[in-house]
Structure 1
Amino acid sequence: MKFTAVSAAACFLVSQALGAINISQPSLSSKITLPATFKPPQVFKNANLVHVISLEKNFAKESINVLIENTSTEPQDEYFLPFMRGQVKNVGGIEVKDRKDASLLGFSVEAVEFDRQSDTQYYRIRLPTPLPVKGQQTLGISFYLLNAFAPLPTAIEQSDKQYLVYHFSAYCPSVYPTLKQKTEVKFPSSDIPDYTRIAGSGETKEFPQKQGSKLTYGPFLEVPAGAVSPVTVRYEFTKPVTHVSELERDVEVSHWGGNIAFEERYTLHNQGANLSSQFNRVKWAQSQYFNPQTYALKEMKFPLRIGSKDAYFTDAIGNVSTSRFRSNRREAVLELKPRYPVFGGWKYPFTIGWNADSRHFLRKQSGDSYLLNVPFIEGPKQSEGISFERIQIRVFLPEGAENVRFYTNIPGSAITHYTVDLQKIYLDTIGRTVLTIKAKNLADDFRDRDLVVSYDYSIAASLRKPLIVFASTMAVFVGMWVVSKVNVKFSTT
């Protein structure tokens, strides 16, 4: 897709909605510090709450749809979301919106730092406008939990089914009283051999109610603030639990070559059950004729932007021949197979890269200003999903690029650090401008989010490298000519 005026305008609107970040500062902090004695003030109540937990992929996605009401005597704009201390490091992608008005923007989410020894930690949600006394607003809160599952049993045969265990509370954790709520849990299949049963209410004698691949706990009435009801579920997940502990993504912009070069380096793990016996390659090869479901990762598919070219794939040993790249007017897809099936507990580091025409991503604005629009993350697209723990994105801009700013619709709480530096590579003099962004705890649901980088690049800066190359070449020729005129003969007289 070409970077048209319409897409550029859309990126500009997104940037205005999310706010521009000037990277003149060396770091970014998404935490606020409060006194160690802090407790969220009881200024809200949850009139109605629906908690949805999706375990259909290899990460947990939780959604909280809640109707909040201001019960204080003053307008309020701070709503607190609690997490257990062990969960905080695995929480990511927190987003908040108004369920009744999707166009309402301005919700901000920040981690609260007050007492690291406390069992409960908080995120603060700031509403776009203070909620008046007795006013109500319907919030849609969504987030992801990485590293949330444990296989049970922890070791199985390579042809066995895999089962995972997940722990949560039937009462949605909240620092405010809730008048009515229920929790729905969605699974990838109806094979759920074990789950916690609790006493029901009214005509329902026991919770949960099971309908196919879904369990429903509740409805519960008059749940006090801070109440919990521990639940454990064990369910079938005969797919790889694919987790990327580290992703390094480089985007190199070349104005003279009209090219954008992408390279991604993955440290990939399968967090599923370990093998209980030694891997049998013969048995594995025989089973592939029937193409059974397996918890081993045996192939990956990378959908790239249309027009991508020159794709490559290597691992720690070298080039891998079991890959296929096809690119046409409708699609660009890189399909690859790891050198070996990646079973639970195994690791597979590898690198992919490709080139693309810069006109699909880069647009010149007025004067010397340019706008670059690339995906924040891409990566493989698998039916079971992929989670990313640590992400580092480096955007190599042309030598002499100035006034660098970036905008992204990735949740702000996911971005932990950003810098702008100079780095010397081929034939550079002062060094290329490099924007580095670090993020954490994202799922592949964010793979289509944008990273928009604006910068100034003058004509003088663009001519620096060719002029230096020309001058250097001429200096070499002149030097050779001077040397050739020197008389190095020895006289015998």
Structure 2
Amino acid sequence: MMACTSAHHRRRCLSNVKSVTMPVTTKILFCIVTVLYIVIKSESLSVDNISSDVKFKNVDRTIDLTSQLVKITSKITLENSGKSPVKNFLLAVEASTKNNLAFVGAKDNSNKDLRIAETTVKGYDNVKFWRVELKETLNAGSTVSITTDTVFTKALQPYPTAITQQEDQLVKYTGNLYVYSPYYVTSQKTNVVINTKNVESFTKIKPFSQQDGTIQYGAYSNIAPFTEKELSVHYKNNSPFLTVTRIERLIEVSHWGNIAIEELIEVEHTGAKLKGPFSRYDYQQDHHSGPASVRSYKTFLPASASDVYYRDTNGNISTSNMKIKKDSVELDLRPRYPLFGGWRTHYTLGYNVPSYEYLYHSGNDYLLKMRVIDHIFDDMQVDELTTKIILPEGSTGIKLNVPYPVTRLADSLHYTYLDTKGRPVITFKKTNLVENHIQDFQLRYTFPRLLMLQEPLLVVGFLYALFLCVIIYVRLDFSIHKSEHHKE
């Protein structure tokens, strides 16, 4: 091999090395990937600034700890102390609680939902921000009333973590005494609702007061942005601590007048675990035995639901009751055994609804409008939801519109009787859901109406071919010689 002594030879050697280490096609692919990455990152991430002109003049906050969920409602008086108009403002959640946040929403003084979107602020990587768009521009020196709602799951910790069958369940809440805000707060109050007089301990920072099932804090004045002070409440809470660890929701659409819905639900009691043995005799004789256990719960289905079935691996569960109301069908579901802390169960729930209530069409264009998830039980929390929508065979131009961000999985095909190409299946996943997520999705697709004749024609064709084969078979003669007829 020739040594690279001269400058010309060094340039030639260097070019040869480059061509060996990175071919031209690799360079092109690398450049394309880099450009796409930059474009996607710039579009998916929005960056905002914290305006010094915006202030929270007054905040009246309520922390509801009566169930297994932590629901915080804040009535905010927003003030524009600057000289230029304000079109939006920011909400923030502490780094310690952002992983437990399931829902955040905002409404104006007319109780209309405000548009809200997740955003980022430079220098605050550990804080979760949302930008709230105001219905009308807030002029300089003006104020407006806003109500925000946040729901946290698994924010109440059983303390102690294990109890006997006869003991009450004690839980501990740890949060922020002040409103975690990116803006200066002039005055604020906090009401903690627990609906029990059995309080083991709570944070005592003056001014505060305790009355029945409520602890009141404040008013506190002139709170700086991003101020944190621990708020702790240790109290009795025997409400059902049920968690749907996984639910698979299957929606099968038929253009012949029916939509079949089936849900595979896995439930776990996530409260204080049962310590010691379980006595079925004591549980049945003493109504106060197992105060933290779950005997039954109510599920609400659409008012038009019919052919409802409720079963587990052992078969149909006949202890359930169904009550038809004006706007819903109420199911009183009773598992085969009571659920204590750490116990699990799973079951299948299915029903049918008429397609005319959820499926709209204009020519060959169809619109399916249904709920992402139904009401499973009061104050529900769902770890993971997978929704599968099976459309009729031949559906094309599928477009999914969801009310909140979900993870869209790869489309697949579902085969059943009389299918030739398979039915398209649209699948998406969502984690950490609560009742606020009971909202409608929209699925648009195109389906030629002539394809509805495909299955009847296949049946007719199959029967015609079958009868034709029978006729041919009867008329065929497979005998070796003809039988002789004797004359009389």
**TM class, shorter-chain normalised?**
0.7 to 0.9
1:444 Cα shift? 2.7
Cα displacement (A) at 1:420: 5.4
**Quick one: structure 1 residues 235 and 363, their matched pair in 2 at CA, closer, same or farther if it must change by over 3 Å?**
same
- Identify the residue that residue 436 of structure 1 maps to in structure 2: 427
1:285 aligns with 2:284: yes
- The SS at the match of 1:471 is helix
Partner of 2:254: 254
Change (3 A) 1:417 1:115: farther
**Unaligned ranges ≥5, structure 2:** 1-39, 482-488
Matching residue of 1:193: 200
My pick for the range that moved more, 75-84 or 162-171, is 75-84
Cα offset, 1:294, TM superposition: 1.9
> How far apart are residue 326 of structure 1 and its match?
4.5
Are 1:170 and 1:231, in contact at CA under 8 Å, matched by a contact in 2? yes
1:175 to 152, 157, 182: 182
Which amino acid in 1 is paired with 2:349? I
For residue 362 of structure 2, give the secondary structure of its aligned residue in structure 1: coil
Q: Which moved more, 1:178-187 or 1:41-50?
A: 41-50
* Shift of residue 124, structure 1, vs aligned partner: 3.0
CA distance in 1, matches of 2:86, 2:328: 49
Superposition TM-score, scaled by structure 1 size: 0.80
Aligned position for 1:462 = 452
* 1:397 pairs with 2:406: no
Equivalence for 1:90? 100
Pairing 1:275–2:274 present: yes
Q: How does 1:17-36 map to 2 (within 5 A)?
A: 32-33=44-45
- Quote how far apart the aligned CAs of 1:45 are: 1.4
- Whether 1:57 and 2:53 are equivalent positions in the alignment is no
**Is contact 2:118–2:130 with CA below 8 Å preserved after alignment?**
yes
316-325 or 240-249, which deviates more: 316-325
Tell me the equivalent position of 1:16.
Answer: none
Q: Which runs of 5+ in 1 are unaligned?
A: 1-27, 201-206
SS of 2:316's partner is: coil
Q: Which moved more, 1:299-308 or 1:418-427?
A: 418-427
Are the equivalent residues in 2 in contact too, given 1:301–1:333 (CA < 8 A)?
A: yes
CA contact (8 A) 1:390 1:440 kept: yes
Contact 1:76–1:130 (CA under 8 A) maintained in structure 2: yes
Shift, 1:260, TM fit: 1.8
TM-aligned CA deviation for residue 184 of structure 1: 1.3
Match of 2:117 among 106, 109, 113: 109
Instruction: Quote the RMSD (CA, aligned, Å).
Output: 3.1
Aligned match for 2:89, one of 79, 90, 102 = 79
C-alpha spacing 1:131/1:487, structure 2 compared with 1 (3 Å): farther
Matches within 5 A, 1:357-372: 357-359=354-356, 361-372=357-368
SS in structure 2 at match of 1:167: strand
| Cα 1:334/1:136, change in 2 over 3 Å | same
Q: How does 1:316-331 map to 2 (within 5 A)?
A: 316-327=313-324
State the match for 1:474 in structure 2: 464
Q: CA deviation at 1:73?
A: 5.0
- 1:378 corresponds, among 352, 358, 374, to 374
Count residues with an aligned counterpart: 442
Paired residues of 1:416 and 1:440 also in contact (CA < 8 A):
no
Counterpart CA distance in 1 for 2:427 and 2:160 is 41
- 1:202-230 CA distance string (max 9 Å, x none): xxxxx421121111111111000111110
TM-score if structure 2 supplies the norm length? 0.81
Does the residue aligned with 1:343 lie in a helix, a strand or coil?
Answer: coil
Q: 1:479 to 1:148 in 2, by over 3 A?
A: farther
CA spacing shift, 1:372–1:51, aligned 2, 3 Å: same
Q: How big is the shift at 1:469?
A: 3.2
Q: 1:304 aligns with which of 301, 304, 308?
A: 301
Partner-residue secondary structure (3-state), 1:399? coil
> What does the per-residue CA deviation read over 1:16-52, in whole Å, with 9 as the maximum and x for residues that have no partner?
xxxxxxxxxxxx99x94268xx874544211111221
* Secondary structure in structure 2 of the residue aligned to 1:89: helix
Change (3 A) 1:328 1:214: closer
Check whether the contact 2:319–2:333 (CA below 8 A) recurs between aligned residues: yes
Q: Segments of 4+ in structure 1 off by > 6 A?
A: 113-116
Percentage of matched positions with identical amino acids: 26
- Amino acid corresponding to residue 45 of structure 2 in structure 1: T
Query: CA contact under 8 A between 1:401 and 1:461: conserved in structure 2?
Result: no
Q: Deviations over 1:404-450 (max 9, x none)?
A: 44556x5x25x343665543333222222333332232223554x33
The answer to whether residue 230 in structure 2 is matched with residue 227 in structure 1 is no
| Equivalent AA in structure 2 for residue 423 of structure 1 | H
Q: For 1:456 and 1:322, locate their aligned partners in 2 and report how far apart those are by CA, in whole Å.
A: 43
Residues 86, 139 of structure 2: 8 Å contact kept: yes
1:76-118 Cα shifts (integer Å, max 9, x gaps): 44423222334223212211121x2334x551222549789x4
1:264 lines up with 2:263 in the alignment:
yes
3-state DSSP class of the match of 1:278?
Answer: coil
Q: Which residue of 1 aligns with 2:348?
A: 351
Look up the match of 2:168: 161
Distance in 1, Cα, partners of 2:242 & 2:151: 15
Task: Give 1:302's aligned amino acid.
Answer: T
Greater RCO between the two (CA within 8 Å, min separation 6)?
A: 1
Contact 1:313–1:319 (CA under 8 A) maintained in structure 2: yes
